[in-house]
A = this chain, B = another copy of it.
Amino acid sequence: MTGPRYTKLAAALPATVPFVGPEELQRKRGAPFRARLGANESVFGPSPFAVAAMQDEAGEIWKYADASHEELKAALAQQLGMTPANILIGEGIDGLLGYAVRLLVEPGDAVVTSEGAYPTFNYHVAGFGGTLHKVPYADDREDLRALLAKAHETDAKIVYLANPDNPMGTFVKGSDIAQALDDLPEGCTLMLDEAYVEFAPAEAVPQIAADDDRVIRFRTFSKGYGMAGARVGYAMSHPDVIKSFDKIRNHFGMNRAAVAGALAAQQDQEWLHEVIALVKHSKAEITRIAADNGLTCVPSATNFVAVDCGADGDFARKVLAELAEDGVFVRMPFVAPQDRCIRISAGAADDMAVLAEALPKALARARAKA
C-alpha cells in the first residue's frame, strides 16, 4: 500500500501541533490539575443566561444551525455600530484565522508577525505555505513600527497583530493602530486579533470605520464571555471582505447551541462586566502572590498575567514544570526575553490559594535544580 498522494505542501508540513492541551498533559502526568490557569479560559464561566440558552437548545440539536447566523450578527452589529454585512460568525478566532489565511496566502507569500506571538496563526500560515517574517517584541510589546517596516520590506500580504497581546498581556494604543492602517503597504491586510479586547482599557481599542477593507478584526466569545469550549468567534471588515469568506467557509460548521449561547452571552453585558471585575481582582492577586515571592509582573490588559520569574527562559521553564508537577497548569512565552515569564490566567479564589501555595515551592525546587 502506498497511501494517499498528499499535496507537496501537506507532505512537507511538520506533524507539530500549536499547543498541547491540558487534558493531554493530565493524561501524561496521570492526575488532574488542581488549578487550570494555562489556557486563558475564564474560570468564571459564561452568563447563566448563556448556559440556560445552550441547555434549552440541546433539545433542538437535531437541526443544523442557521448558516448565516442572522440573529447573532444583528445583535453584534447593533452593539458595535455596524451592519450585519460587516460581520462573519465562525468557529472561534482559530477557525476564522484559518479561513482568512486561506483566502490570502499562497505558497511563498510573505506574512508578518511578532516573534513569540500566537502560534496558531503561524500554524495556519505554514499550513498554506506562507513565509513568516517575524520581528521581535520591544519592551514586552508588539512593535507596530517594526511590523510595518517588515511588511514594506517583504511586500507582505498580512500583518498579524494581537491587541491586547498574548502572551505578554500588553497593548499598543488604538490610535497608533488606526494610524498604522494608513502606513500599511498597498494591498497588505492587518489581521487584528482582539480576543482579549473586553479586558482592555478604552485607549487600546482603535476607532476604525466598519467598512475599512484594510483590516479584519477578530473577536471571540472564548475569553471575556467564558465560552472557549463553544467555539464562537467573529470577524469584522468591509462587507466585500466578509463576503469573500463565503467562498470557502464551512457554511454549516457552527454548533447550534453555541450560537444560541453566544447570543444570550452578548445580551448579558452585566455578567461580562462582573467577570471583568473578577478578572481585575484576580490579576491583582496574582501580582500580590508574585510579589510575595519576590517576582514582578508585566502590567496586563487581558485575563492573564505574565509573571517575570527573575531569570532566563531555562529557569522559567523549570518553574513551569514544577508547577505542572504540583498540579498547576500554566503556560509561558516561547521566545527570549519574554520566556523569562510564566503566563498565569486569572482564576477564582481557590485557584489563587493553590497558586499561593504552589509557587514558592516551585520556585524553590527550580532554584535547587538550576
Contacts and interface: CB of A to CB of B under 8 A. Distances in A.
A302 to B, nearest CB: 16
A358 interface: no
Contacts of A252: 19, 21, 92, 94, 231
A250 interface: yes
Given A27-B70, A62-B41, A229-B60, A251 B103 contact: no
Contact of A227 (B3, B10, B19, B62): B62
Interface residues of A, number: 91
A43 B238 CA distance: 38
Contacts of A6: 103-104, 244
Given A67-B21, A253-B92, A157 B247 contact: no
A238 B62 CA distance: 31
Interface string A222-253: 10001111110000001011011011101111
Given A68-B24, A230-B257, A257-B54, A13 B248 contact: yes
Interface in A34-71: 36, 39, 41-46, 51, 54-55, 57-68, 70
B246 A17 contact: yes
A17 B251 contact: yes
A226 B60 CA distance: 10
Most B-side CB within 10 Å, residue of A27, A64, A92, A240: A64
Number of copies of this kind of chain in the complex: 2
Nearest to A105: B7
For the residues of A in contact with B, the DSSP-based class is: loop
Contacts of A10: 102-104, 244, 247-248
B229 A257 contact: yes
Contacts of A105: 7
Contacts of A55: 54-55, 58
Contacts of A3: 187, 189, 213-214, 238, 240-241
Contacts of A188: 5
A78 interface: no
A65 B27 CA distance: 14
A17 B64 CA distance: 15
Interface string A3-27: 1111111100111011111011001
A256 interface: yes
Contact of A15 (B20, B106, B213, B247): B247
24 contacts: A1-B213, A2-B187, A3-B238, A4-B213, A7-B109, A10-B247, A13-B248, A15-B247, A19-B251, A21-B64, A39-B63, A41-B64, A55-B55, A55-B58, A58-B58, A61-B228, A61-B261, A63-B229, A91-B91, A91-B250, A92-B250, A231-B252, A255-B255, A255-B258
Interface of A: 1-10, 13-15, 17-21, 23-24, 27, 36, 39, 41-46, 51, 54-55, 57-68, 70, 91-92, 94-95, 98, 102-106, 109, 127, 157, 186-189, 212-214, 216, 222, 226-231, 238, 240-241, 243-244, 246-248, 250-258, 261
